[in-house]
Chains A and B, each alone.
Chain A
Amino acid sequence: MSTPSGTGYTVLVVDDNPDLLVLVAESLRKLGRFTVVTAQDGIQGLERFFEVRPDCVVIDVKMPGLDGYQLARALRGDPASRATPLVILSALVQERDRLAGLLSGGDEYLVKPVSPLDLVHTVTRVIERGEEERRRRMLMLLDDASADPGE
């Protein structure tokens, strides 16, 4: 299902803030040479996912309608999208938010502000991570997060 397109992979970016959506999309395009598809909210994100079958999805947490966590859970619940790496982009800094992000199925939880280069590196990393490694890493992150709730 990972179908490299052009010089790189296809990434779906879902964010309701238009300026941030453009920033993330441009960063991925210019610095990572990804093919980027965008969506303005969770529902649209879901539709776009099944249209383009991207290699990775970057999801903002706070969105109207279907929020980032819900979108992540919806994608994880469908066999067709279960294996697609998800990067959650959030302004929520507390440990419990991070835990919620990881529990919803995110492979990475990035806290804003994220520099364009970091974002590109993270997306590249999660795409290239093998299935086995992803699962191991997820368990490790969850162990860390639940051992130290930070509250």
Chain B
Amino acid sequence: MGAPLASSSAAASEREIYRDYERNRRLQLARILLPVLALIQFGVVLVSVLFLLGTHLTAMVEQIFTFNTALVGVDAALHALGMRFARRGQVTPATLSVIIPVGITVVVPILVWDLAGQGALGATNPILSITVGEMVGTFVLIVLAGLLATDQRALVATTLLMNVFSIFILTSALQSSNAGNALRDQAFLLVSFPVFVQWAVAGILFAAAGTNLRTLRELGDVRVAYERARQLDQLKDQFISHVNHELRSPVMALQGHVELLLLTQDTLAPEERHAYLERAKRAGDDLVALVTSILATRTIGQDAERVALEAVAVVEALKSALALVDPRDGRQVERELRVSIPSGFEVWAEPVRVRQILTNLLSNAVKYSPPGMPVDVSARIVSAEPDEPRRRRLTGHAAPQPRRMAEIAVRDYGAGIPPDQAPLLFNRFVRLPRDLASNVPGNGLGLYLCRALADALGGSIRVESQGIEGEGATFYLRLPLPPRMEEARAGAER
């Protein structure tokens, strides 16, 4: 089993932060809404029970309220269901578990009571009660639904459900009761008015919910941005203390040798003087290399806009990369480089960039494996993964999805990389805790540069390692194939 794809780790962690934030936000919303909903439902149940007992209010008021409690209860259940279907996961099971039983508790006795001939529909003038009740119930519920809904489709769906429900219940009331018969002249008004009201309320909510959600989303963005900034800040702190540490040794070597030379030059033999200067120069070179790679990470984003692609022979790139690997990285020990690259193997990239990536990978391979251990480099053609990054950055728009990619693998036989730490490696200034504690020089920028370069070239980079001593790690660099190789392959397949 390979290590997780490391190249997308930064984006993935950003997505995770955002998802956590979203989840948190929903939970908070549900936490506020749930008691409100429960309270409303509780009130409705309480009022219905009081009126069912029929001891406190006049028959007229009693009838108005009983009918409306029925509406509110059923509306609540319907709304919750509508929301559930309109936007999965938005209404939490917890919300539903309150709404549905309460709705049923309220509706069933009222319907039974109504069927017994004593219900609200027997009222002499139920227009007012029906419309006002319908309006209030709808308004309350849509407000709640609007808060829960995160898009307007959900509102439209629930409002439609409410319409159907109102029309159905009012039509059947008009047809099935004496009072209803008496009100047939006003049937159209009676049925259509709640529908208008529902849409009017929904219309207001479109705007309100939209604003509400926009605000929430903006707040979310701010929060995510803050989180990112905080993490970047931490990385920078880490980096500053790391660079501080890395700089101090070469600075001391440089200054120290020069000072020692000044203090002792009269007594020194020429070759000793030369050796001091030589070491001071080397310390200076180390400083320059460190500063250069720090600067490179800053400019790499800008450079990505200006890449000129051409066919690059991988063997040639490898040769020039080898020449650039610092012999000190390999502890000055000869080691075997086992190359298995088909002749004429080319990638579609920029020669300098490919060389930079390979230099970094090779120098890591020799730095992090015991002296004398071989390093393998191989290349092959692989089919592109569906989410293979395209040359977006180069052309400004997505190029057609490549069917095949070139894959160059660089393998060492060192200590390997613990799989859980692998995804971190491609981030800026990150080094394994093990390497930080070792004397292997490094500034945590090499693999970050490799990833940035591979991305800029429309490719990707990842690492596979079990973290087992001696089995080492394999870095896979994927780059696009030259158009003619891509076409030749595609043609051959037809």
- A interface residues with partner B (beta carbon < 8 Å): 16-17, 19-20, 22-24, 26-27, 30-31, 41, 62-64, 67, 91-94, 111-117
Contact = CB atoms under 8 A, between A and B. Distances in A.
Given A17-B439, A91-B244, A30 B251 contact: no
Contacts of B223: none
A94 B255 CA distance: 22
Contact of B252 (A41, A112, A117): A112
A115 B264 CA distance: 14
Given A19-B282, A92-B245, 17 more contacts: A19-B279, A20-B249, A23-B257, A26-B276, A30-B267, A62-B439, A64-B439, A67-B437, A91-B248, A93-B241, A94-B241, A113-B252, A113-B255, A114-B252, A115-B256, A115-B259, A116-B263
Nearest to A119: B256
Contacts of B267: 30
The 5 closest A-B pairs by CB, nearest first: A113-B252, A91-B248, A112-B248, A16-B439, A112-B252
A86 B246 CA distance: 23
15 contacts: A16-B439, A17-B253, A20-B252, A20-B256, A23-B252, A23-B260, A30-B260, A30-B267, A63-B439, A64-B439, A67-B437, A91-B248, A112-B249, A113-B255, A116-B260
Contact of A117 (B251, B263, B279, B439): B263
Nearest to B276: A26
Nearest to A116: B260
B107 interface: no
B314 interface: no
Interface residues of B, number: 24
A62 B437 contact: yes
B438 interface: yes
B283 interface: yes
Interface string B221-262: 000000000000000000001001110110111011101100
Given A20-B249, A23-B257, A64 B263 contact: no
Contacts of B438: 64
A20 to B, nearest CB: 6
Contacts of A117: 259, 263
A116 B437 contact: no
B253 A20 contact: yes
Contacts of B276: 26
A7 B253 CA distance: 26
Chain A contact residues, majority secondary structure: loop
Nearest to B278: A19
A113 B260 contact: no
Interface of B: 241, 244-246, 248-249, 251-253, 255-257, 259-260, 263-264, 267, 276, 279, 282-283, 437-439
Contacts of A26: 260, 276
Nearest to B436: A62
A92 B436 CA distance: 13
A64 B437 CA distance: 7
- Residue among B241, B245, B282 facing the most chain A CB atoms (10 A cut-off): B245
A13 B437 CA distance: 20
Given A67-B437, A92-B245, A113-B252, A22 B259 contact: no
Nearest to A18: B279
A19 B253 contact: yes
A50 to B, nearest CB: 23
Contacts of B264: 30-31
B256 A27 contact: yes
A1 B475 CA distance: 54
A26 to B, nearest CB: 6
B251 A113 contact: yes
B100 to A, nearest CB: 55
Contacts of A67: 437
A93 B243 CA distance: 12
Nearest to A23: B256
A24 B244 CA distance: 20
A8 to B, nearest CB: 16
A114 B253 CA distance: 9
A112 B439 contact: no
Contacts of A16: 439
Contacts of B439: 16-17, 41, 62-64
- Residue among A24, A62, A64, A112 facing the most chain B CB atoms (10 A cut-off): A112
B245 A23 contact: no
Contacts of A115: 255-256, 259
Contacts of B245: 62, 91-92
Given A115-B255, A116-B256, A23 B279 contact: yes
A113 B257 CA distance: 11
A116 B245 CA distance: 19
A31 B248 contact: no
- Residue among B255, B256, B264, B438 facing the most chain A CB atoms (10 A cut-off): B256
Nearest to B283: A19
Given A16-B439, A64-B438, A91-B244, A27 B252 contact: no
A100 B461 CA distance: 40
- Residue among B252, B253, B267, B276 facing the most chain A CB atoms (10 A cut-off): B252
